[in-house]
Structure 1
Amino acid sequence: MDPVRPESDPARPESDPVRPGAADGVIATRGLTKRYRGGQLAVDGLDLTVPAGSVFGFLGPNGSGKTTTIRMLMGLIEPTSGTARVLGLPMPRAARTVLPQVGALIEGPALYGHLSGRDNLLRLDAADPTADPRTRGARVAAALERVGLAAAAGKRAKAYSLGMKQRLGLAAALLRPRRLLVLDEPTNGLDPQGMREIRTLIRELAADGTTVFLSSHLLDEIEQVCTHVAVMARGRLLAQGAMADLAAGARDRLVVTTPDPAEAARVLKEQGAADVTADGDKVTGEPPDRDLAEVNAALVAAGVRVRGFTLRRASLEDSFVALTGEGFDVAR
């Protein structure tokens, strides 16, 4: 793939679309900072790189700066300092060139409630000066079908459920082929079946070469669909990289279920387990570097009544807690 020329290179006009895959990533920020009036620091010196072709999960608790970052990337608000490049071009200065190549669903879709789902999409497509009006109806029908709204296309948007509105917003982002898809909480309001369908859609888009940037508070969703991930807290980036590398930052846990937690904890420590804690009838710890069958035998020999003995593999949530020192509120 051809490298992206510097912005000042006269061989490439500003209007020439830039293919993702530059060395700096489809999205690249350097020192990106946003400070609001009153001194509130929402994003603090963010250095983020989103590889081409990835499904990139953007994680963080409420108030961590995720949505503010997305709004700066899309040119909706100006950064206080630092730079952001999307598809190789500076934002917000190159927004007219970049945004036609980007599909986005940010903070929920803005819809005309009195219009049907189909008419909402027709109106949005007509507002795109690069869209061919001769194929508008076919594009709208295909987008509705892809998000499972074909049967409800004639229904007024104000009668849509929250999940249906999310689907319609996704359909709007998919009216044209996109090089980058930016989704802020795309499964908000969806039932489990709808969430599975959105996961499948994201995988299909990535397989077709679209880079997907996905902000979500649902750790399980991120873990199932993303190839790369970044973690933010209190406006700062804590970690980023391939999903497997981030998961490796957390340790597996040995979990023993027993009515004798105090004695079990003592034996586990003797056997070399680290960070041993007891909570009710559950005793957990980092497993010792030895055959776990021997550890189980030591528990039984000490008279511990073992009702459960399992090795729980490290999850994305474990990595998140290890990085931030706090839990992840999935209910908000």
Structure 2
Amino acid sequence: MTEPGAVTESLVVPRTGTAVIETRGLTKRYRGGQLAVDGLDLSVPDGSVFGFLGPNGSGKTTTIRMLMGLIAPTSGTARVLGDPMPGAARTVLPQVGTLIEGPALYAFLTGRDNLVRYDSADPAADPRTRHARVAAALDRVGLGAAAGKKAKAYSLGMKQRLGLAAALLQPRRLLVLDEPTNGLDPQGMREIRTLVRELAADGTTVFLSSHLLDEIEQVCTHAAVMARGRLITQGPVADLAAGTRGRLAVTTPDPADAARILKEHGLTGVTVDGDRVTAEPPSREVELADLSGALVHGGVRVRSFGVERASLEDAFVALTGEGFDVAG
């Protein structure tokens, strides 16, 4: 996750206008009574990079499958690009690029030939420019050098890239990505984040599902948080954590002494991670200057001290009372 005070790349500012995705009371109940999505009211602004955030099993993929017309909702409505789904699927889907639950590939074909097959299945694709489109899509996701390899020899991360390339064969108004960095190493994750920003800057709305908080925080302009099939909150990423208190953080070569002193002064949630000690912020009756002075007076060598900005992780825990997978 981005360190406090670190400078991050600027995010795309979404255009104002109608929602690209809008749901009202969207619900999916499977046989046996399992409620996968419960009354979802979602609104994705045009031009945004929209993060759809939640733990595995929270209902994200089921929601995406309903939005794309792959399964029917039990109740409620969904509109994509202004049209009802699944009824308008033939009109909507040619304008949407998708990568859902990993790409479906022909293992015995090369990466290039897989994309040729995908492109050939698109009735709107001009066959005269097919090979140029395929080459451009492969280069854009960093697979140009591996285009001649058979898909069965691809790593999981390479298969994810190839699936993303398939979604980029044609210009799209909307790109729907379900866990797009799954299987990628840190460098690959950075490249995909950069690509998402570029696509949004070119006018594509990106709907990105992930269980990784740092991924959402770094690349998205807006986000929605799901838990146990229900929408917890949604809005601009910068606003989601605004109402959540941050953590008091102390960096010191004497973490055990720092933790003891903070506890003695009534602070709760004290944790130690290497030379970093964090705690719930003190009440308004306790001055930060007094805490800092107590640490110094107690012989703690303080390298940094202060209350950090609340993160999406803090907001999620505050809203749900649950922990979250924040691995990057």
TM norm. shorter chain > 0.5: yes
Alpha-carbon shift at residue 293 of structure 1 (Å): 3.2
1:60 to 45, 54, 64: 54
Amino acid in structure 2 at the alignment position of 1:63: G
Confirm or deny that 1:276 pairs with 2:268.
Answer: yes
User: Cα RMSD between the aligned structures?
Assistant: 2.1
Confirm or deny that 1:266 pairs with 2:264.
Answer: yes
Aligned position for 2:223: 229
Alpha-carbon shift at residue 318 of structure 1 (Å): 1.0
Q: Indicate if the aligned counterparts of 2:223 and 2:234 stay in contact, CA closer than 8 A.
A: yes
**Mapped partners of 1:51, 1:199: distance in 2:** 19
Aligned with 1:76: secondary structure? coil
Alpha-carbon shift at residue 98 of structure 1 (Å): 0.2
Amino acid in structure 1 at the alignment position of 2:174: L
Distance 1:100 1:280, change over 3 A: closer
1:71 to 51, 65, 73: 65
**Mapped partners of 2:241, 2:227: distance in 1:** 17
Q: Show structure 2 runs of 5+ residues with no match.
A: 1-13
Q: Indicate if the aligned counterparts of 1:102 and 1:181 stay in contact, CA closer than 8 A.
A: yes
Aligned position for 1:272: none
Deviates more, 1:309-318 or 1:236-245: 309-318
Q: Indicate if the aligned counterparts of 1:252 and 1:287 stay in contact, CA closer than 8 A.
A: no
Alignment map for 1:1-332 (pairs within 5 Å): 23-256=17-250, 257-259=255-257, 261-267=259-265, 269=266, 276-279=268-271, 282=277, 284-289=279-284, 292-301=288-297, 303=298, 305=300, 307=302, 309-311=304-306, 312-330=308-326
Q: Indicate if the aligned counterparts of 2:258 and 2:295 stay in contact, CA closer than 8 A.
A: no
Q: Show structure 1 runs of 5+ residues with no match.
A: 1-19, 270-274
Aligned with 2:270: secondary structure? strand
For residues 93-117 of structure 1, the C-alpha deviation after alignment (integer angstroms, 9 at most, x for no partner) is 0000000000000000000111111
Distance 1:260 1:216, change over 3 A: closer
* Structure ID, larger Rg: 1
Amino acid in structure 1 at the alignment position of 2:134: V
Q: Indicate if the aligned counterparts of 2:217 and 2:312 stay in contact, CA closer than 8 A.
A: yes
Q: Give percent identity, aligned residues only.
A: 75
Alpha-carbon shift at residue 62 of structure 1 (Å): 1.4
Alpha-carbon shift at residue 260 of structure 1 (Å): 5.8
Distance 1:313 1:280, change over 3 A: same
Amino acid in structure 1 at the alignment position of 2:110: S
Aligned with 2:108: secondary structure? coil
Q: Indicate if the aligned counterparts of 1:258 and 1:306 stay in contact, CA closer than 8 A.
A: no
Distance 1:21 1:306, change over 3 A: closer
Deviates more, 1:211-220 or 1:281-290: 281-290
Aligned position for 2:5: none
Q: Indicate if the aligned counterparts of 2:214 and 2:326 stay in contact, CA closer than 8 A.
A: no
Aligned position for 2:7: none
**Mapped partners of 1:167, 1:157: distance in 2:** 11
Alpha-carbon shift at residue 24 of structure 1 (Å): 4.5
Alpha-carbon shift at residue 307 of structure 1 (Å): 4.7
Alpha-carbon shift at residue 162 of structure 1 (Å): 0.5
Aligned with 2:175: secondary structure? strand
Alpha-carbon shift at residue 286 of structure 1 (Å): 1.1
Equivalent residues, number: 306
Q: Indicate if the aligned counterparts of 1:24 and 1:49 stay in contact, CA closer than 8 A.
A: no
Deviates more, 1:44-53 or 1:212-221: 212-221
Distance 1:82 1:192, change over 3 A: same
Aligned with 1:154: secondary structure? coil
Distance 1:22 1:196, change over 3 A: closer
Alpha-carbon shift at residue 296 of structure 1 (Å): 0.8
For residues 273-306 of structure 1, the C-alpha deviation after alignment (integer angstroms, 9 at most, x for no partner) is xx623346845121455763343114444x3635
**Mapped partners of 1:197, 1:292: distance in 2:** 40
Amino acid in structure 2 at the alignment position of 1:276: T
Q: Indicate if the aligned counterparts of 2:15 and 2:48 stay in contact, CA closer than 8 A.
A: no
Alpha-carbon shift at residue 315 of structure 1 (Å): 1.3
